[in-house]
Structure 1
């Protein structure tokens, strides 16, 4: 077997290592803390006894080595060298402080004196809450109902762990590797988390890893394991499709992340039907999306990284300011990116920052400030309103727009011949494709509307364009991070010219004008200006002026009516808004 050496080479014989103490047992082997005599570096040596190994075990050892040798990433435990003798195979690995399981056990038992100096990485007062949690677990058949009043670890610690696991998984999946055995014992911490709050998380133990392309795996290893259809992994972390032997995919690892997150919050692995009642909405939402029984409905690793629990706040930086009014709510996204909702019946408000975790709740002339984590349960419903409003805005704002030429035709058995006109990757990561059919009728399908009954060629086409747009987003995000230049939305290709609709106007075009609000042009030639305070004016060549106040009161004015002063003030801003619209849409006066 070949070795993979660091710049300071590690020894290629067990005689070149001083084994100090056993620190763990991995799949098919024992692990020792060691020092390489050659370069004086600390390391871990995994010793695998091959004398008792059957063919399957030898295959798995070879598969683990073949996969692990080519991995190089900050969140992957590094394999420095591989060698063997007549008794054992030896894997020289990066030495880490301990496992996530070790950390969680110590966190639960945080009253240990060694933890007291750095107690801020744990949730103080969680001992009594944890006792309540343990007494509240009631088993009824396969259903476990749990009252969650406090999570063991603070959001910041959970965020750091899950974010790094997902970063490592993203690297693995990009290289066609499915881990298949993510659990608390196979996730390591490089440094002592009680001493270093900037600890690094490492994914380890690739004994069950699966290479979806087989390109780097020795011949015949996977012949007896077609398409990963074997039950493997650790109970409590295994996805339903693996249990039922329906195959394995990157979504199987995502399910394991959900089990890890659940364990970090509760101290136990999920079993049976989950009842997440009483858990913070950010936690329950992410856990629920990770543990979906159907792989296709699970959240992706990329989406996990943009979830507010992992980001630490609501992401509103690329959304335009807006104000909306319903019968019971006034919803506003400010210029600063903050989200504010006024509940008209109770005369209470909640304001959530778009740049940090600050939350301000006002009611009955009383104002209280919280963090997202410390927000009392009585205000969680208000937070959910804010979150849904932001998600709605994200679903209507594109971050990547891809215009295509007219010759891009797909032939579908169900829908007939379709021309792909435009692809959009939205801010909430849904994907939309706009088509023209043979009757020149335009329609849009998004990733949530496409069903399995749709033509396979159409599904494959949408998948291909979605992957292209995601790659564009990732490249531009990297450029944005390195340059500090705001690069979104990204528009690629030239928008095709559409036929004019009465008066030389283009259908449903909208922009945002600084200091005014949003202005749009409807297909019937009517201009609509929505101001930052929530008021709206609509007007056109043959249309009377309509004014809607911020509270929803609507008035219509004919050409000979005397306009109130407040309407005149708003109307004075309309010409500027229309002119900006004309410039950006290239309309002729």
Structure 2
């Protein structure tokens, strides 16, 4: 059955990345169907309260909310203190948003590095002229989509600790930074060669990176999930870059993601990042 055309917004990003990275044809590179992974869904070790992932149960639980007028960093510290088990030892801040912060951390039980993300739950205001329900929906989407995903190139959600004031997501740790930063250091010369620092980057090397993204996007689309915010900043390198080995990419930040109920369902919400969003979304005919 034909997939909804709206899914092209995910693939459009991959095409743009190909255009930016590969000045020549890919006709000599064979991308076999077997390379598109099909991973069975597995049960994860999740911390759930009263079956939060059953339909329509997570959002009401998240509607407790916090007062935005209180200092955000103070609230995030409180969320960590209340929700994060003691076996996680917090490390440096890796990034932050308006209502979230991500720390590196060590799981002392497994002796493995993880990333720990605390997100404040805004006090829900749903009235004429203003609503912040979308912020709650984004948290719900991120948790639901990551919980059902089991793919090498999609970031893994290891644990989830919710509360009315905020929630904590424990994610696998990546050490290589954003693909955006990697691309900034990639130079394409007039003769068509690509160099990262002093190292030549071949077409095959970049094609393998593209294949990973296509594999992850295909995995989501097969499960009727559309990312809707694919961009260089939302793709991480698992390890620090080395020209001597293949790069392993991880798609992150699925908060704008949408889980479709049926194959022919269409979407009409305008979302995404300005410099990456599809023209038909910007046009917003309806």
Confirm or deny: 8 A CA contact 1:75 1:165 kept in the other structure. Answer: yes
Select which of 144, 155, 160 maps to 1:66.
Answer: 144
Select which of 230, 236, 249 maps to 2:275.
Answer: 236
Change (3 A) 1:211 1:94: same
Match of 1:32 in 2: 103
Trace 1:2-151 onto structure 2 (pairs within 5 A).
4-5=44-45, 13-16=83-86, 17-25=88-96, 29-51=100-122, 54-85=132-163, 87-97=165-175, 98-105=177-184, 107-108=185-186, 129=189, 150-151=193-194
Trace 1:503-542 onto structure 2 (pairs within 5 A).
none
The TM-score, its normalising length taken from structure 2, stands at 0.60
Q: Does residue 209 in structure 1 map to residue 257 in structure 2?
A: yes
Confirm or deny: 8 A CA contact 1:27 1:207 kept in the other structure. Answer: no
In structure 1, what is the Cα distance between the partners aligned to 2:98 and 2:192? 36
Deviations 1:86-136 (A, max 9, x none): 54211111111221012223x24xxxxxxxxxxxxxx6xx5xx4xxxxxxx
Q: How far does residue 242 in structure 1 lie from its aligned partner after superposition?
A: 1.5
Match of 2:7 in 1: none
SS of structure 2 residue aligned to 1:15: coil
In structure 1, what is the Cα distance between the partners aligned to 2:262 and 2:143? 13
The TM-score, its normalising length taken from structure 1, stands at 0.30
**Does 1 or 2 have the higher relative contact order (CA < 8 Å, sep 6+)?**
2
Flag as ranges the 4+ runs of structure 1 deviating above 3 A: 25-28, 51-54, 147-154
Select which of 206, 210, 219 maps to 1:171.
Answer: 219
Trace 1:5-404 onto structure 2 (pairs within 5 A).
5=45, 13-16=83-86, 17-25=88-96, 29-51=100-122, 54-85=132-163, 87-97=165-175, 98-105=177-184, 107-108=185-186, 129=189, 150-151=193-194, 153-194=201-242, 197-213=245-261, 227-245=266-284
SS of structure 1 residue aligned to 2:241: coil
Q: What runs of 5+ residues in structure 1 fail to find an aligned partner? A: 7-11, 109-122, 130-146, 216-225, 248-589
Q: How many residues align?
A: 194
In structure 2, what is the Cα distance between the partners aligned to 1:14 and 1:157? 39
Deviations 1:219-261 (A, max 9, x none): xxxxxxx9421221112211112212358xxxxxxxxxxxxxx
In structure 1, what is the Cα distance between the partners aligned to 2:171 and 2:102? 9
Q: How far does residue 156 in structure 1 lie from its aligned partner after superposition?
A: 2.8
Confirm or deny: 8 A CA contact 1:34 1:42 kept in the other structure. Answer: yes
Taking only aligned residues, the RMSD between alpha carbons, in angstroms, comes to 3.0
Confirm or deny: 8 A CA contact 2:122 2:136 kept in the other structure. Answer: no
SS of structure 1 residue aligned to 2:105: strand
Deviations 1:369-392 (A, max 9, x none): xxxxxxxxxxxxxxxxxxxxxxxx
In structure 2, what is the Cα distance between the partners aligned to 1:203 and 1:246? 29
Q: What runs of 5+ residues in structure 2 fail to find an aligned partner? A: 1-42, 47-81, 125-131, 196-200
Confirm or deny: 8 A CA contact 1:26 1:205 kept in the other structure. Answer: no
Confirm or deny: 8 A CA contact 1:164 1:201 kept in the other structure. Answer: yes
In structure 2, what is the Cα distance between the partners aligned to 1:158 and 1:228? 32
In structure 1, what is the Cα distance between the partners aligned to 2:160 and 2:232? 25
Match of 1:518 in 2: none
SS of structure 2 residue aligned to 1:57: helix
Q: How far does residue 78 in structure 1 lie from its aligned partner after superposition?
A: 0.6
